Chains A and B, each alone.
Chain A
């Protein structure tokens, strides 16, 4: 009964927290709400007219939505790079950042689920997938595995920080015996969500561009580069705008994680390029299309030739200690790395999988305005959710909101 009362207090206090703030905070949230509303309007058009309002066709049947979904699974998985050192290796330097990382994972997962739903032809019959009342084609379909791991990871990433914050809210210390088993599980789970998402594509013999044993490992490497890079940027913003104290050495340590992951990612990229272009086969055509264009069709060239130099530049900048330890350079490198991996693992991965088609047909894909509107709306939703979570968590951690037994 007391727990319930505390919970009610927490809800009331967090509502109070998220509805009050500086002018900048209100502008930020107002802008996000506005973008979300535009996204919802675009989505309503899509619901009404069908997916024909997107740029997708029978030839390229997955586009911007699935690209963003794939990328965001990686961002979500990246929380493990903070969870593992904090809870498992007991490195106190990460302690302040880990809650932020988990909040980011929750926001990313919500975006993932939103992108999947946006991509569905029949969102109203999604209950067909619920075991018990529907048919869940487990374990045959990798998509069912993905549903399980994504929802499980979402559950873990909500419950663990919630337990810790709930204890802190009451002014008590969280008991490691309660959350550490969950944290250890979430470490494996994080690797699981990204490997399973890679297997979703890797398991298709119809698409040689994806049917490649390196896809899964490369997903992990790029995720552990892009995700922590985003966390660094977010921490930098939080440090500037709130009283939440994040030490330099925390950011430097996360920077180290980003660096190693980015280097491994680059090695794998070279390995892939070597395989595709040293002894090109019929199966290398998608890679040719991506990097050089095929038969004059070259819509992806500007994207990939933005991504590759940014990726290389970021990795080089991060590799030198002197440059990495300069925060201005670090933030810049993290930003361009994030953008590069977003292109490479979103657009650069999904679209060429369909081009050329099974019989060599080259039909290009360009997202429509409505598709972009929905996509921006979902990103705004993610930012909105994250802001709420982070603001509450920070205020609890700072001791600004505490349970008062009235």
Chain B
């Protein structure tokens, strides 16, 4: 069990919590990019203290004359002191010279300006996409001093993502929900969750009315079964049709995405979604700095702002990099299957061809790409 106190539900029964490794700009969690060695990193204070110690050291106790004349000095220490004083001098120059600091502020203002008046991501060409992603990464670095990696990777050809959910296997552990929240940088204060797990009573069929999607007890509960819902990435999504500014659309690989910077926050898409697949940032979303996932995609888990819509993207930052969404990876029972519908050898295709699959509210003509099946 995770011993950290979280605001969102955490029922990690028997789930091994990965030790968070130091993350770096390259997105890898294990060595290789060079910025991973924690012990090498020292803070500015430590550096200054060290530099001063190196240059004057025990001379603090001596008076002026002694300091100048009574100095034990080898060639090695003389060199060390020289370097240290140079560094201190350089630091002093850089801080006293406001031109440099002004450049940062100017750059930040420039980025903010360009971000405020940029166009709709859907209509951008690849260069413009890259430009906005670069701006956002630089802006994050300027604000927090930390690097993130943000991708603007487009949909690949011959890829159409689909998802299948095995109702027989799901035990309601909610590891998928935890993994999703952590992966996608969702607001911790409002406990926003893309996935809802509905606890249903045996013998009542798929009776959502009597199901509970907000349980806080040990699972699997006697006489119940579980069914998860999230955005179904419809082929004919009603939410996309109604958006007055085309801030949400269906990508070529079937993902229904939102441009958080283009959304005006009218919430019409939310009213239009028959699957409760969309979430709104009612206040400024907050994620503790140390919990932020730095491996981001423009259309996926980058930081949102208040007053915009967001939703499940099948973890676009992972799926387009050839990985499974976080919920699929986290599921301890193997109830979740994700893959390319156009690949005849994919597991998802095997499920669709060999299992009795069904979808929710098919009568609405939305053509979800999310199927349910049982063993």
Contact = CB atoms under 8 A, between A and B. Distances in A.
Interface of A: 49-52, 54, 56-58, 61-62, 116, 119-122, 125-126, 128-129, 134-137, 140-144, 147, 200-201, 203-207, 285, 353-354, 356-361
Given A50-B283, A61-B280, A353-B271, A120 B266 contact: yes
A217 to B, nearest CB: 21
B266 to A, nearest CB: 6
B253 interface: no
A146 B290 CA distance: 45
Contacts of A126: 264
A136 B243 CA distance: 9
Interface in B260-296: 261-268, 270-276, 278-284
Interface string B238-272: 10011111110000000000000111111110111
12 contacts: A50-B283, A58-B270, A62-B267, A119-B266, A121-B264, A125-B264, A134-B120, A137-B243, A141-B268, A205-B366, A358-B276, A360-B210
Contacts of A136: 244-245
Given A135-B120, A206-B272, A353-B271, 4 more contacts: A141-B243, A141-B244, A201-B271, A358-B274
Contacts of A201: 271
A121 B244 contact: no
Nearest to B366: A205
A359 B208 contact: yes
A51 B307 contact: yes
Given A61-B271, A360-B209, A52 B190 contact: yes
A137 B245 contact: yes
B364 interface: yes
B108 to A, nearest CB: 18
B270 A121 contact: no
A51 B282 contact: yes
Contacts of B213: 359, 361
A56 B307 contact: no
Contact of A206 (B244, B245, B271): B271
A49 B282 CA distance: 8
B211 interface: yes
Nearest to B240: A140
Contacts of B263: 121-122, 125
A359 B265 contact: no
Interface residues of B, number: 49
Leading 7 A-B pairs by shortest Cβ distance: A121-B265, A121-B307, A206-B274, A52-B282, A360-B209, A50-B283, A52-B283
Contact of A356 (B209, B247, B275): B209
Nearest to A350: B271
Interface in B178-192: 190, 192
Nearest to A358: B276
A115 B278 CA distance: 23
B229 interface: yes
A57 B210 CA distance: 21
B196 interface: yes
A47 to B, nearest CB: 9
A177 B278 CA distance: 52
B123 interface: yes
B276 A142 contact: no
Given A50-B282, A121-B263, A135-B120, A359 B276 contact: yes
Contacts, number: 135
A136 B261 CA distance: 16
Contacts of B306: 50, 121
A121 B196 CA distance: 24
A contacts with B: majority SS: loop
A292 to B, nearest CB: 16
Contacts of A137: 243-246
A125 to B, nearest CB: 6
A133 to B, nearest CB: 9
A51 B309 CA distance: 12
A62 B266 CA distance: 9
A100 B124 CA distance: 49
Contacts of B198: 359
A336 B82 CA distance: 90
A227 B116 CA distance: 41
Given A50-B306, A141-B243, A121 B211 contact: no
Contacts of A49: 283
Given A50-B307, A52-B190, A122 B271 contact: no
Contacts of B307: 50-51, 120-122
Contacts of B280: 51, 58, 61, 121
Nearest to B282: A52
B326 interface: no
Contacts of A361: 213, 276
Contact of B271 (A54, A129, A354, A359): A354
A122 B196 contact: no
Nearest to B266: A120
A206 B262 contact: no
A121 B229 contact: no
Contacts of B308: 121-122
Contacts of A119: 266-267
A143 B208 contact: no
* Most B-side CB within 10 Å, residue of A144, A147, A204, A356: A204
B271 A128 contact: no
Contacts of B284: 50
Contact of B208 (A56, A205, A360): A360
A122 B264 contact: yes
Contacts of B266: 116, 119-121, 143
B241 A121 contact: no
Contacts of A205: 238, 274, 364-366
Contacts of B270: 58, 61
Contacts of A62: 267, 271
A61 B120 CA distance: 24
Nearest to B279: A58
A353 B267 CA distance: 14
Contacts of B190: 52
A203 B271 CA distance: 11
A285 B207 CA distance: 14
A172 B247 CA distance: 51
A147 B280 CA distance: 22
Contact of B245 (A57, A128, A142, A353): A128
A361 B308 CA distance: 23
Contacts of A120: 264-266, 307
Contacts of A134: 120, 245
Contacts of A125: 261-264
Contact of B196 (A51, A354, A359): A359
Contacts of B261: 125
A174 B199 CA distance: 70
A320 to B, nearest CB: 41
Interface in B334-375: 364-366
Nearest to A208: B274
B283 A360 contact: no
A375 B209 CA distance: 34
